[in-house]
Amino acid sequence: MRLIFTNRKRMALKQISSNKCFGGLQKVFEHDSVELNCKMKFAIYLPPKSETGKCPALYWLSGGCNIKGEDESWDFGTGAGFYVDATEDRWKTNYRMYSYVTEELPQLINANFPVDPQRMSIFGHSMGGHGALICALKNPGKYKSVSAFAPICNPVLCPWGKKAFSGYLGTDQSKWKAYDATHLVKSYPGSQLDILIDQGKDDQFLSDGQLLPDNFIAACTEKKIPVVFRLQEGYDHSYYFIATFITDHIRHHAKYLNA
């Protein structure tokens, strides 16, 4: 009885929309999140192949800074909260996006869709790029590959990160490092992880010191973790930047997901 109840809960997905697209279906669902204590929406693309067999899953984490032209595939809303599990009283009941993204959502996806649970990868943009990096670095072996567009690489040292982390995690900065990609690289056990990062050279947040990719690259170099970092001349932080290079990222993930 308990098991059935659990399964019933997992199955409680409400379809919001379904549109045929490139031969498959682009769908949006709503569900009650246990981790976040609120209704959440996510989008999923089911390719034609999924009609006849299980497919790998590639998770996309969007940014949350109201970037012009941003088109969110996973609509986590503006309160995405840096993809951490908050510990401060005011936030800790609802702001548990790290657990949602790494545990609750994959369980939900695996239980409801024709997905191979052994083959998952993750990528994202800006704050979502930071999220993708920490999800992969905190869970060696869980994701086959990781990539990011203009990720926040060293949040403990940038204004956005300091504000978010002090709000969600409190003033004890030693706790912050558990969600900082550059610090996580330093203690990464070294199992296979191929990282691809694209960064626009004319991104205003790069020159503002919000993204700090150099610190991340230096840490990867020291730990001999393979990372391809491409500084793209003339590109900014926008949707247009993502659109231009997302095919390369999907190919990067397909190499590992279809291996």
- Which of 2, 5, 15, 20 lies at the binding interface for a second copy (CB under 8 A)? 20
Closer CB to a second copy, 14 or 90, in the complex = 14
Closer CB to a second copy, 51 or 222, in the complex = 51
Active-site residue 202, yes or no? no
Least gap, CB of 172 to a second copy (angstroms): 40
Least gap, CB of 76 to a second copy (angstroms): 19
Q: Which long-range contacts (CB under 8 A, 24 or more apart) does 116-121 make?
A: 116/54, 116/55, 116/56, 116/57, 119/56, 119/57, 119/144, 119/257, 120/56, 120/57, 120/58, 120/59, 120/144, 120/257, 121/56, 121/57, 121/58, 121/59, 121/145, 121/146, 121/253, 121/256, 121/257
Active-site residue 236, yes or no? no
Q: Does 22 bind a second copy (CB under 8 A)?
A: yes
* Cα–Cα distance for residue pair 27/73, rounded to 1 Å: 10
Instruction: Say which of 203, 236, 252, 253 is annotated catalytic.
Output: 203
Least gap, CB of 255 to a second copy (angstroms): 22
Q: What is the identity of the amino acid at 126?
A: S
Active-site residue 203, yes or no? yes
Per-residue contact track with a second copy, 78 to 107, x per CB under 8 A?
A: ------------------------------
Instruction: Say which of 237, 249, 252, 253 is annotated catalytic.
Output: 237
* Cα–Cα distance for residue pair 130/115, rounded to 1 Å: 25
* Cα–Cα distance for residue pair 122/253, rounded to 1 Å: 8
Q: What is the contact surface with a second copy in residues (CB under 8 A)?
A: 17, 19-23, 26, 68-69, 200, 202, 234-236, 238, 240-241, 243-244
